[in-house]
Amino acid sequence: MTRLCLIAGDGIGREVVQAARQVLEALAVPAEFVEAEAGWETFQRTGNALPEQTLAAVQAANATLFGAVSSPSQRVAGYRSPIVGMRKALDLYACVRPVQTPPLANARAGVNLVVVRENTEGLYSGQETREGDERATAQRIITRQASERIVQWAVQYAQRTGRRKITVVHKANVLRKTCGLFRETALRVLSDAPDLQVEEMLVDNAAYQLARAPERFEVLVTTNLFGDILSDVASVWGGGLGLAASANYGTRTAVFEPVHGSAPDIAGQGIANPLATLSASVLMLEFVGLNSYAERLQTAIQAVLANGPYTPDLAGTATTAEVVQAVIAQF
C-alpha cells in the first residue's frame, strides 16, 4: 500500500497539513499516513530541526507532504532549515513549481508555466564562512553533473507534458564561470532535444519578464536561488503564494509542499488557505500513480477557486475548515 508521510511543521503548517489529511481521507485515497516532525518547535524541544527518525520516515514513504516551518530570525547555533536539509540529505534535486491562471475573477489569462529549479547546490551549498564581524563568504557551487541532471529533468518534463519551449535562466554575463558552466551544460543537453525551442535569458530580465509578460514562458530551468526568487514572482499569476505548490523530486522519493511559509501572524486563527497544500497533494498523488484521485482533487480545487468560499488571502472571510468542507463537498 502507498505510504504517505505528513510533516506539519510550525505555524499554519499544522493547519494546512491537517486540512489536507482530512481531504485525502474524505477522498478515500488508498494510502496509509505516517506522521513525522520537523521545524522550529522540534528544534527547541530536541535540538534538531530535522530529526533522524523524520528523515527515515520520509525515506521509507512513497512520498511526503510537508507543511511549513518557522525559522529563527537570529542566527541560532545548530539550526538549519529542515526543508533545505531534506532536499540535500535525500538528493531531492528537482524543485518544480507550476503556475497556471486560476479560475478567479480578474486573474490574468493565458499563464501556464513551470519553474524547474536545481535544488541541491548553488548558493545553498551550505559552505559559508565568517571572519569575525568584518567579512563573510559563501560559496556558490555549480557542477556539470547537477546542471545536466536538472536540465534533463526539465526536458523530459517538457516532452511528457507537451510543452514546446525551455528558457534557460542564468547570469553568465557576470558569473562567467559558475553560470557559464550551467549555461553551456544546459545548451548542450538541449541540443539533443530538437523538438524544443530553446531560449536563454539573464536572471534580471527573466524576473522582469515574469512580472510583466508571464504568458511568454513555458518551462524555465535555472539554478537554486534564482529559481527560489523567480518562482515566487511567477506565483503572483497563479493567485499568489496562498495557492502555489511545490514538488521536490529525487531519484527515490519526493516531498511536496505549499510555497508559503508558516505565517506566524495568522497561525492558530484557523484562517490559513489550505489550497496550496491541496495543490501540492495533487502533485503528490500523481507522483505515486494515484492519477484518478489526483484528478478528482484537482477538479474540486478548481471548483472551489471558481465559486468560493475564500479565505482572507483571497479577500474572503472563510475559515480553513469551511474551504475544506467545500472541497470535500465536490467529491
Ligand X SMILES: CC(C)[C@H](C(=O)O)[C@@H](O)C(=O)O
CA angle in degrees (0–180, nearest 5) for 288-104-70? 60
CB of 83 to ligand X, least distance (A): 6
Of 242 and 274, the one with the shorter C-beta distance to a second copy is: 242
In angstroms, the CA 241 to CA 243 distance is 5
Of 228 and 322, the one with the shorter C-beta distance to a second copy is: 228
Q: Which of 61, 210, 243, 326 binds a second copy (CB under 8 A)?
A: 210
Pairing type for strands 245-249 and 219-222 reads unpaired
Of 163 and 170, the one with the shorter C-beta distance to ligand X is: 170
Residue type, position 70, single letter: S
Q: Is the dihedral of CA 233, 181, 247, 190 positive or negative?
A: positive
Residues 6+ apart with CB under 8 A from 159: 193, 195, 196
The cell 511543521 sits on which residue?
9
Residues 6+ apart with CB under 8 A from 65: 4, 5, 6, 7, 17, 20, 255, 256, 257, 277, 280, 281, 284
Of 24 and 49, the one with the shorter C-beta distance to a second copy is: 49
Active-site option among 124, 157, 293, 310: 124
User: Binding residues for ligand X, per CB under 6 A?
Assistant: 81, 83-84, 173-174, 204, 228, 259
User: Which whole-number Å values give the CA distances from 222 to 95, 119, 179, 291, in the listed order?
Assistant: 10, 10, 10, 28
Q: Which of 1, 28, 133, 195 binds a second copy (CB under 8 A)?
A: 133
CB of 294 to ligand X, least distance (A): 22
In angstroms, the CA 314 to CA 276 distance is 12
CB of 112 to ligand X, least distance (A): 21
Number of residues in contact with a second copy under rule CB under 8 A: 53
Backbone angles phi, psi at 253, to 5 degrees: -145, -175
Q: Which of 59, 143, 298, 302 binds a second copy (CB under 8 A)?
A: 143
In angstroms, the CA 52 to CA 134 distance is 35
Give, as ranges, the residues between 226 and 265 that touch a second copy (CB under 8 A): 228-233, 235-236, 240-241
Residue 133: active-site member:
no
CB of 87 to ligand X, least distance (A): 8
Residue 171: active-site member:
yes
In angstroms, the CA 90 to CA 253 distance is 8
By a kind-dependent CB cut-off of 5 to 8 A, residue 83 interacts, out of ligand X, a second copy, none, with ligand X
Nearest to 179 by CA among 138, 228, 226: 226
CA angle in degrees (0–180, nearest 5) for 61-63-69? 100
CB of 25 to ligand X, least distance (A): 26
Q: Does residue 277 sit in helix, strand or coil?
A: helix
Q: Which stretch binds a second copy (CB under 8 A): 37-45, 157-165, 190-198, 225-233?
A: 225-233
Q: Does residue number 140 form part of the binding site for a second copy (CB under 8 A)?
A: yes
CB of 35 to ligand X, least distance (A): 21
Secondary element (H or E) of residue 246: strand 245-249
Kindly write out the interface string for residues 11-50 of this chain, putting x where it contacts a second copy by CB under 8 A and - elsewhere.
----------------------------------------
DSSP letter string over 173-184?
Answer: TTSTTHHHHHHH
Residue positions annotated with a catalytic role? 124, 171, 204, 228, 232
Using CB under 8 A, list all residues that contact a second copy. Answer: 71, 73, 75, 81, 84, 123-124, 128-130, 133-145, 171-178, 180-181, 200, 203-205, 207-208, 210-212, 225, 228-233, 235-236, 240-241
